[in-house]
């Protein structure tokens, strides 16, 4: 059977400061995500999904297996989209063009994305995805859900579970989400779109 592993962060634990502290990243990656990985490995034997990919599990499973696999897939996409190096503050290339085409401007996209993130009630994720026709769409997904379940290709996501920001921002979810624009690596998003 396939053993799911905790993803390695592609940057140092303090690389995203001051936007995400090393303490938050340490708990979020090393404790929360690690727990989902351990839970999934414990639940899979006998499920028929022992050798399935996370993407397959998320589209086929139910209950605890679905929730833990969904959280692993979501967090893998989330952590991989950041960089601690200075980067372009707005997407160029195909992503930039598609955002302007489908939202009017990058600023209008950011506004809608943050609004959907701040108004998502409870725990979940806000996503930018591409539809089968290439059109970009912003969705709110509760708990561990992923746009793959709707036939969409996930491109960018902000985690709005309190564990993602509470140590640094307490109740100020909107401030946390707005800060994330400073650390997005748009080249990663561009690769996901292609
Ligand atoms: Mn999280």
Query: What are the pLDDT digits (tens) for 164-174?
Result: 999 999 999 99
Q: How far, in Å, from the CA of 192 to the mean position of ligand 1?
A: 20
Query: What are the pLDDT digits (tens) for 43-74?
Result: 999 999 999 999 999 999 999 999 999 999 99
Q: How far, in Å, from the CA of 22 to the mean position of ligand 1?
A: 15
Q: How far, in Å, from the CA of 162 to the mean position of ligand 1?
A: 8
- 183 with 84: CB under 8 angstroms? yes
Query: 10 Å Cβ neighbour count for 100?
Result: 15
Rounded to 5°, angle at Cα 156 from 162 and 141: 55
Q: What residues sit around ligand 1, an ion, with C-beta below 5 angstroms?
A: 159, 161, 164
pLDDT of res. 125: 98
pLDDT of res. 89: 85
Q: How far, in Å, from the CA of 62 to the mean position of ligand 1?
A: 20
Q: How far, in Å, from the CA of 32 to the mean position of ligand 1?
A: 7
Q: How far, in Å, from the CA of 33 to the mean position of ligand 1?
A: 7
Q: How far, in Å, from the CA of 155 to the mean position of ligand 1?
A: 17
Q: How far, in Å, from the CA of 161 to the mean position of ligand 1?
A: 6
> Which residues make beta-bridge pairs with 26?
none
Q: How far, in Å, from the CA of 127 to the mean position of ligand 1?
A: 14
141 or 84: whose pLDDT is higher? 141
Query: What are the pLDDT digits (tens) for 13-50?
Result: 999 999 999 999 999 999 999 999 999 999 999 999 99
Distance, in Å, from the CA atom of 76 to the CA atom of 118, rounded to the nearest integer, reads: 22
Q: Is the pLDDT of residue 2 over 90?
A: no
Distance, in Å, from the CA atom of 182 to the CA atom of 39, rounded to the nearest integer, reads: 32
pLDDT of res. 6: 98
Query: What are the pLDDT digits (tens) for 82-123?
Result: 998 877 789 989 999 999 999 999 999 999 999 999 999 999
In 3D, which of 32, 6, 1 has the Cα closest to residue 167? Answer: 32
pLDDT of res. 88: 72
Q: How far, in Å, from the CA of 158 to the mean position of ligand 1?
A: 9
Query: What are the pLDDT digits (tens) for 183-192?
Result: 999 999 999 9
Q: Measure Cα distances from 146 to 11, 58, 88 in Å.
A: 24, 8, 27
Q: What region does 115 belong to: left with phi over 0, alpha with psi -120 to 50, or beta?
A: alpha
């Amino acid at each position: 059977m396939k053993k799911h592993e905790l993803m390695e962060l592609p940057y140092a634990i303090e690389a995203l400061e001051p936007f995400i502290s090393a303490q938050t990243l340490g708990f979020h990656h090393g404790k929360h995500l690690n727990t989902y990985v351990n839970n999934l490995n414990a639940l899979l034997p006998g499920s028929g999904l022992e050798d399935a990919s996370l993407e397959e599990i998320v589209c086929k499973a139910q209950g605890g297996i679905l929730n833990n696999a969904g959280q692993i897939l979501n967090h893998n996409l989330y952590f991989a989209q950041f960089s601690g190096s200075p980067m372009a503050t707005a997407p160029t290339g195909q992503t930039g063009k598609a955002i302007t085409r489908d939202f009017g401007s990058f600023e209008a996209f950011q506004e809608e994305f943050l609004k959907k993130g701040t108004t998502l009630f409870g725990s979940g994720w806000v996503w930018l995805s591409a539809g089968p026709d290439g059109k970009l769409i912003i969705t709110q997904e509760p708990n561990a859900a992923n746009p793959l379940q709707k036939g969409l290709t996930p491109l960018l996501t902000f985690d709005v579970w309190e564990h993602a920001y509470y140590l640094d921002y307490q109740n100020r979810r909107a401030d946390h989400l707005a800060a994330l624009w400073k650390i997005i690596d748009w080249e990663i998003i561009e690769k996901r779109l292609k």
